[in-house]
Structure 1
């Protein structure tokens, strides 16, 4: 079964080389790789050109998350299309094989894999990854949650239902909800692990959760997020993270980061839910082009040698 990989990128010179190197080390032979670039002004395209990559361009003024994905999938030729963020990279050489194995079941429309943070991620984001991407696989998921930073879909189903180009985010949730409503299945593959690197400022954290909340309100128009819920979510998750940090003996080091991240996360969510402005191309650009460019479990080990990224510097 032919596989295509679609990557969305904007000014990803710090990360794109590592991702493409990791793809080159996969056990799966020569997948088609498509990079959708939305106007990078750094060395992203220069670095990508050192690998066998097909580059698709989208103008910044035309960018939406769904539109860039649709352009990438449209340019692909695989029966399965893997979607991965430019600031992710696979941990193991069997990542691609494992992520696409669930499609041996014809009812599976989408699979997605585990995410863990890198050294630059905020402490609370590591807790988010642990909660939403557990260590155990679920090959017939009971809910529509998915994440396009590390996922795969059937191309023929995308042809029947492309990604929503008007959403300010969560186009993955909208698509997976459609798939489940249409009778298809979603699989979560914990062993198909990637490192998802973020190095966000607090205003960028606020911005991300605000745009996702605007999108969620579009997807679920009857949903609400009251000020009381904001307070409960912020305080509850802050206390949880602080307790985790205490157990991991990093309480003092991480106190400020935890307090600020959870505040920006849920205040952004609250403001997004109560956004009353016009959702247009200008809003999309404002979100994507910033002014300045549960439990403490021990992760299961795998008897598979990790990809050695020390040679990846040759491409930087």
Structure 2
């Protein structure tokens, strides 16, 4: 049993090293890393290349027809393992990933996502807006009162590869493909889990839609 980790990357020179080091520190040592590179600059690629001990593959993707769902669906098709972690290129995992536990969860749930702690220029900030969803308890089928729909977040989320490929993300959306996907799943009678014991730091970037209203 092993883990595939799917990362979408575009010019995260100052963050991708933290992401990859946290994979070394907290994920199974034989994890497969698929990096979907969206025309990143050379400095960003050089940071990835520092991590020679990791089993990573860089796949260069054209951004001409980009959508988050399209990139992720393509990435899942390139993963070798049954369990896939979608991971932002500007997060840092800070809790041990127990693959056996995750695998057992995915026998019951269509997705399992973890807690994200917002980090603004090195400082942990009070969670508000989207960050207020990340509670200190496990929640089945988390519902967002602010968004008026079920809430899932792909920055740190586990899926079963084969299930996702049969039930892919929508490719016509410019964002929040995770929310649309999970609301459709719940409408079919399926469940998902938020596990607060799975934790990552999520770093501020000026281009990140998740951070609108924070900076």
Q: Which has the higher helix share?
A: 1
Pairing 1:185–2:207 present = no
- Match runs of 1:91-130 below 5 Å: 91-92=94-95, 94=96, 96-97=97-98, 101-105=101-105, 106-120=107-121, 126-128=127-129, 130=131
Structure 1 position 109, deviation (Å): 0.8
TM-score by length of 2: 0.85
CA distance in 1, matches of 2:131, 2:65: 34
Does the Cα contact within 8 Å between 1:5 and 1:84 map onto a contact in 2?
yes
Equivalent position of 1:21 in the other structure: 21
Q: What is the DSSP-based 3-state SS (H/G/I as helix, E as strand, rest coil) of the residue aligned with 2:69?
A: helix
Structure 1 unaligned blocks of 5 or more? 210-259, 265-316
Secondary structure of 2:120's aligned partner: coil
What RMSD, in angstroms, separates the aligned Cα atoms of the two structures? 2.5
State how 1:57-72 maps to structure 2 within 5 Å.
57-72=60-75
Matched, 1:6 2:3: no
Matches within 5 A, 1:1-316: 1-26=1-26, 28-51=28-51, 52=54, 53-92=56-95, 94=96, 96-97=97-98, 101-105=101-105, 106-120=107-121, 126-128=127-129, 130-138=131-139, 140-141=140-141, 143=143, 144-200=150-206, 208=209, 261=213
In structure 2, the gaps of 5 or more residues are 144-149
Q: Deviations over 1:201-234 (max 9, x none)?
A: xxx57xx37xxxxxxxxxxxxxxxxxxxxxxxxx
**Structure whose CA Rg is larger:** 1
1:261 counterpart SS class: coil
Aligned pairs, number: 204
Give 1:47 deviation, angstroms: 1.6
Give the Å deviation of 1:129: 5.3
Cα distance in 1 between the residues matched to 2:42 and 2:126: 27
TM-score, normalised to structure 1, is 0.59
Query: Which has the larger share of strand?
Result: 2
Shift of 1:179: 2.2
**Alignment-derived partner of residue 291 in structure 1:** none
In structure 1, distance between residues paired with 2:22 and 2:114: 16
Counterpart position of 2:147: none
